[in-house]
Amino acid sequence: MSNGNRRPVAAGNWKMNLLRRDAEVLCQGLTGGLPAKLEGAGAADVVLFPTATLLTTVARQIQGSAISLGGQDMHPDASGAHTGDVSGPQLADAGCGWVLCGHSERRQDHGEDDALIGRKARAATDHGLLPLICLGESGNERRAEQTLAVLRRQLTAALASKPASFEIAYEPIWAIGTGEVATPEIAQQAHAFLRQTLAELVGEERAATTRILYGGSANPSNVADLIAQRDIDGFLVGGASLDSGKFLDIIDVCARHRG
Ligand code: PEP
């Protein structure tokens, strides 16, 4: 199956940025410009992942638009004594339909391991959220030719707890926030390997319909070449998603993509 049969996704990871007023302005820029980008083109899913404190503000701003909302992380438990954490039911209650699981900054800053990420992905679907499972190799792992082994390990662990549904984001750590984007060939090789591994883990049919997004210094000038690759189904965008003009341009490329 080519990526023309999978609806592209443009996802914005705001990380730990923006105050409420900034979020409102950014959302207004996006909701104002979005219809023109989606109209007459194909279609794309658009998702924003703001900081937890901004979720209700963003939910209000995007009401009635084609934009969906997601949390940047969640605890696997539904409630309880976990100071500073947020649960799946709390995200759903705030209007989220998606959640990031295993972003490399969570792995690095909070020591999240593969098994925990698997539990989070399963808990997400138990609470009606769609997990966007993030994985990718470090620069050292790539230089040591460990990339494919790392991807297989991360994907296998994330799916061990059998989440009911999921999408994947391939995010090479050396490309995140560095301005050093993966070449289309490098990204396609990783995406194809992930899809082939998915087929082994969950079957051909699910592997063929799972969206695998690329993340790592994606911007309006490099996304067209990336999405032209057979197994690249959209983008998880950090820095460029904080600028409504740039993010709208990325959405435009996704929406016009025909596979
Ligand atoms: C990310 O945070 O998921 C990301 C890909 O960031 P950036 O686009 O800034 O590299």
The 10s digit of each residue's pLDDT in 172-191 is: 999 999 999 999 999 999 99
- The total number of structural domains that make up the chain: 1
User: Ligand 1 pocket test: which of 173, 217, 223 has the largest number of ligand atoms within 8 Å of its C-beta?
Assistant: 217
* Radius of gyration, CA atoms only, the chain: 17
- Whether 9 is in a domain gets the answer no
Q: 13 - beta bridge partners?
A: 49
Ligand 1 pocket residue status of 236, Cβ below 6 Å: yes
Residue closest to 245 by CA, chosen among 237, 54, 77: 237
Residue closest to 7 by CA, chosen among 212, 237, 214: 212
What integer pLDDT is reported at residue 43 of this predicted model?
Answer: 87
- Whether 48 is in a domain gets the answer no
The 10s digit of each residue's pLDDT in 144-177 is: 999 999 999 999 999 999 999 999 999 999 999 9
- Whether 29 is in a domain gets the answer no
- Whether 61 is in a domain gets the answer no
Instruction: Identify the residue whose C-alpha is closest to ligand 1 atom 2.
Output: 238
The ligand 1 atom at the shortest distance from the C-alpha of residue 178 is 10
Mean pLDDT of the chain: 95
What integer pLDDT is reported at residue 223 of this predicted model?
Answer: 98
- Whether 24 is in a domain gets the answer no
Domain of residue 78: give its range: 70-211+231-241
- Whether 183 is in a domain gets the answer yes
Ligand 1 pocket residue status of 213, Cβ below 6 Å: no
Whether residue 88 has pLDDT greater than 60: yes
- Whether 101 is in a domain gets the answer yes
We report the CATH number of the domain holding residue 203 as 3.20.20.70
Q: What percent of the chain is predicted at pLDDT more than 70?
A: 97
- Whether 44 is in a domain gets the answer no
SS3 labels along the chain: CCHHHCCCEEEEECCCCCCHHHHHHHHHHHHHHHHHHHCCCCCCEEEEECCHHHHHHHHHHHCCCCEEEEECCCECCCCCCCCCCCEHHHHHHCCCCEEEECCHHHHHHHCCCHHHHHHHHHHHHHCCCEEEEEECCCHHHHHCCCHHHHHHHHHHHHHCCCCCCCEEEECCHHHCCCCCCCCHHHHHHHHHHHHHHHHHHHCHHHHHHCCEEEECCCCCCCHHHHHCCCCCCEEEECHHHHCHHHHHHHHHHHHHCCC
Ligand 1 pocket residue status of 239, Cβ below 6 Å: yes
145 is catalytic: no
Expressed in angstroms and rounded, the spacing between residue 168 Cα and the centre of ligand 1 is 14
Site of tokens 């790392």: 150
Ligand 1 pocket residue status of 177, Cβ below 6 Å: yes
Expressed in angstroms and rounded, the spacing between residue 178 Cα and the centre of ligand 1 is 9
